Amino acid sequence: MTSAEILQLLITGLTVGSIYALVGLGFNLIFNATDVINFAQGEFVVLGGILTAIAVGTAGLPLWLAVIVAIVLVGALGALIDFAAISRVRRGSVMTLAMITLGLAVIVKTSLLLWVGPDPLYFDPFTPGPPIRIFGAVLQLQAIWVIGIGVLVMVALKFFFSHSRVGREMLACAIDREAAQLMGINVGATVRLSFILSGALGGLAGVLITPLTNATYDQGFTLALKGFAACALGGFGRASSAIVGGFALGLIEAASVAVLPSGLKDSVALSVLILALMIRPSGLLGGREERRHTQAM
């Protein structure tokens, strides 16, 4: 393998890895506030991409406005999910809530199929122009956007959870909901906010990646699985772990495409997830201890 090929592999891996990390961070937001894994996280991403493509293509909005509309709408869907379903569950365990999100994922996916059909949707990259060549490797301009915004969001979230009051309240809700309530934290509003942010983050990931990969209604679950793998590789409940895990996963995938048929790409990434969890069930960096979410319904 030449050094240009290795550099190319790094670029591809980091680009894809940023997306997995963003999906993983979306998981983390809701998980940190509720101990629930939102199975519809991948659908948020697909929805973000498809809404932008429609706003640009059919409605003729300028790209920046389309992006904002898409992110706001997906965030609103997050709020709606919490308002209409999650916040109304009185009995049942965390697994019940996770199953509800699985049902919601199927609803979003089927709606998208009925609405836009099975064909991939697409819109132009943020900045037009030929890709940059560095030492023989090709760097798409959109990839710079993906990695750049990805890193920016990750840093912002890190500070959000460690330094802002709202972020710390969110963590408190997950660690002990009753205790958080007793400390005067508005648990309901905090959870609602986590759903909104998670939706917006998923929508943003979709907006960033669609010019590179297109958006198809049925990509959601695989994306969710990769995002989860990113979290799990790093260890759940910490923002930094999703980032490390996402990049690791992206690089593994890029490397597998270089040596194996591309149809095996997903299987290789997922085998790594399985093996990693077999060796270190709490993630490579060691995550928060499993508690309530370990039980069945």
Partner 1 sequence: MRQIHVLLALILAWLLAPLLIETGGTFNLFIFAFINLILVLGLSLLFGYAGQISLGQAGFYGIGAYMAAVLTVRTGLPPVLGLVAAIIVPAALGYIIGRPVLRLRGYYLAMVTAALGLILHTIFVEWVDVTGGYSGITGIPALTIGTLTARSPVTMYYLSGAVGFTVMLLALRLVDTAYGRAMRTMRESEMAARSCGIPTARLKAEVFALSAGLSGLAGALYAQYVGFVSPESFTIDTSINLLLALAVGGVGSLWGAAFGAFLLTFLPEWVHELQNAYGLVLGAMVVVMLTLEPRGLWGIVLRLRDAFARRQATTA
Q: For 103-247, list the strands marked E by DSSP.
A: 132-134, 137-139
**Residue 23 near partner 1 by CB under 8 A:** no
Q: Segment 201-230, which members bind partner 1 (CB under 8 A)?
A: 221-222, 225, 228-229
Out of 72, 270, 284, 285, name the contact with partner 1 by CB under 8 A: 270
Out of 4, 98, 151, 255, name the contact with partner 1 by CB under 8 A: 98
**Residue 286 near partner 1 by CB under 8 A:** no
- What the block records as the tokens of 209 is 């990646």
Distance of alpha carbon 218 from alpha carbon 209, whole angstroms: 15
**Residue 257 near partner 1 by CB under 8 A:** no
Q: Segment 25-44, which members bind partner 1 (CB under 8 A)?
A: 37
Contact 170, 162 (CB under 8 A): no
Contact 27, 228 (CB under 8 A): yes
Out of 2, 3, 58, 96, name the contact with partner 1 by CB under 8 A: 96
CB of 40 to partner 1, least distance (A): 10
- What the block records as the tokens of 233 is 């590789």
Out of 106, 151, 212, 251, name the contact with partner 1 by CB under 8 A: 106
Indicate the SS3 state at residue 85: coil
Pick 113 or 152: Cβ nearer partner 1 = 113
Distance of alpha carbon 146 from alpha carbon 246, whole angstroms: 13
Pick 88 or 163: Cβ nearer partner 1 = 88
Beta-strand relationship, 137-139 and 132-134: antiparallel
| Interface map 44-83 toward partner 1 (x if CB under 8 A) | ----------------------------------------
Residue 251: closest CA among 71, 2, 3, 20: 20
Pick 98 or 255: Cβ nearer partner 1 = 98
Pick 259 or 278: Cβ nearer partner 1 = 278
Contact 5, 258 (CB under 8 A): yes
**Residue 163 near partner 1 by CB under 8 A:** no
**Residue 247 near partner 1 by CB under 8 A:** no
Contact 62, 52 (CB under 8 A): no
Within its chain, how far is the Cα of 42 from the centroid?
Answer: 6
User: Interior CA angle at 31 toward 84 and 151, to 5°?
Assistant: 115
Out of 59, 155, 183, 297, name the contact with partner 1 by CB under 8 A: 297
Out of 5, 65, 103, 134, name the contact with partner 1 by CB under 8 A: 103
Pick 182 or 278: Cβ nearer partner 1 = 278
Contact 233, 280 (CB under 8 A): no
Distance of alpha carbon 42 from alpha carbon 201, whole angstroms: 11
The residues that touch partner 1, with contacts defined as CB under 8 A, are: 37, 84-85, 88-89, 91-96, 98-100, 102-107, 109-111, 113-114, 221-222, 225, 228-229, 232, 261, 263-264, 266-267, 270-271, 273-274, 277-278, 281, 290, 293-297
